[in-house]
Structure 1
Amino acid sequence: MILWLLESQRRWRIFATLVLLLSAGWMWLARVPDAANGARIPSPRVDFPAPDFSLPTLDGDSIRLSDMRGQVVLLNVWATWCGPCRAEMPAIQRLYSESQPGLVILALNSTVQDDAAAVRGFADELGLSFPILLDTTGAVTHTYRVQALPTTFVLDRQGVIRKIFYGGPLNEATLRAALDPLLQEAP
């Protein structure tokens, strides 16, 4: 078939145009809708802006990701029933307890299967004091295309995803290696 395409310049141009159109279509389909305004945003990946969201916290407040601009953000997506999530939470809590200037830690409970009481029990049992966001509808988890738990996104001060960790558990050294260079960059 390839020889048949190459035999004629016209066939080759048609084939190249078809490939370009299919590529453009694929790129368009790889985008996900922004639930807030219907606009389309790129799927979350390294070197692209993190999709914005606003979620309630376990404490009844509300946090909007875009309000964290100017700070390095560790966004950890987890669930109470996830063993690796439970295993990495102490390392995340140690980072939070050390309160490095310019670092924000957000733990996003990603499942509609957990209720607020289960999340609070999990946080109390592990002594977690960082903000815990509740994605009760799963919309943010879907927007971020989370396929494995835990999934951790590291965002720079401009809100660009610089690192994604799939699965876990992560340890403190791995987290520091991803965060420290970003924290040393000028705000």
Structure 2
Amino acid sequence: PAPPFVNPDLGKQFVWSRNYLAKGWVVVDFFATNCEGCKKELPILEQLLSDFSETGLTIFVLATDAGGGSVVTPYFRENPTTLTILVDRYQVAVKKYQVTEIPSLFLVDPLGTIVFKEAGFQQDLYERISAVLNQGQ
């Protein structure tokens, strides 16, 4: 099963993943503001969220920057997104998911099982994630 996590969003409100895991499809994406592949991934994730919103898809982008909110908040103020950004400053979720490369992405099914994972950025991410989501509906 996907490990649970509790992280603050950009408004410093804590988000408990257990409120989402095992209730619908969830993407957990590990991001850094200085990562070019991460920046390329965001529009793809935004498109997935838009196209699959009726399925109850939730997307969490966990920003792993050591500077925490002081780095992440200004970045997303300049680069607004429809995605839910969480701050993983101390890399607690990174360790739980055993992330060794940024970006890393995990797709969790409604039963709470990780059914897809990927390290690094691949251009065809949308096609591969949407295929799994379409299969699972």
The answer, yes or no, to whether TM exceeds 0.5 is: yes
Equivalents in 1 of 2:91, 2:30: separation in Å?
11
1:37-52 → structure 2 map (5 Å cutoff): 49-52=1-4
List structure 1 segments (4+ residues) > 6 angstroms apart after TM superposition: none
Provide, for residues 115-165 of structure 1, a one-character-per-residue CA deviation record: whole Å limited to 9, x for no partner.
313212332333312211111211111121100110000001011111101
Equivalent in 118, 126, 131 of residue 84 of structure 2? 131
Unmatched segments (≥5 aa) in structure 2: none
* Residue aligning to 2:61: 107
On the 8 A contact 2:65/2:72 being kept in 1, the answer is: no
Given that residues 70 and 157 in structure 1 are in contact (C-alpha distance below 8 angstroms), is that contact kept between their aligned partners in structure 2?
Answer: yes
CA RMSD of aligned residues (A): 1.6
SS at match of 2:28: strand
SS of the residue aligned with 1:74? strand
Partner of 1:172: 126
Counterpart of 1:65? 17
How many pairs align? 134
Give, in angstroms, the shift of residue 174 of structure 1: 2.4
CA distance in 2, matches of 1:64, 1:158: 17
| Map of 1:53 onto structure 2 | 5
**Higher CA-based Rg:** 1
Query: Which residue number in structure 2 is paired with residue 82 of structure 1?
Result: 35
- Distance in 2 separating the partners of 1:117 and 1:178: 35
Say whether the 8 Å CA contact 1:79–1:111 is kept in structure 2: yes
- 1:55 partner SS: strand
- Is residue 53–residue 65 contact of structure 1 (8 Å, CA) maintained in 2? yes
User: Relative contact order: is structure 1 or structure 2 higher (C-alpha 8 Å, sep ≥ 6)?
Assistant: 2
Identify the residue that residue 31 of structure 1 maps to in structure 2.
Answer: none
Tell me, which stretches of 5 or more residues in structure 1 are unaligned? Answer: 1-48
Q: Which amino acid aligns with 2:28?
A: L
Q: Distance in 2 between matches of 1:109 and 1:95?
A: 19
Kindly provide the amino acid, as one letter, of the partner of residue 12 in structure 2: G
Q: Is the 8 A contact 1:55 1:64 kept in 2?
A: yes
Deviations 1:11-61 (A, max 9, x none): xxxxxxxxxxxxxxxxxxxxxxxxxxxxxxxxxxxxxx0111111111222
Identity %: 27
Q: Rate the CA distance shift 1:125–1:95 in 2: closer, same or farther, 3 A.
A: farther
| Separation (CA, whole Å) in 1 of partners of 2:76 and 2:50 | 14
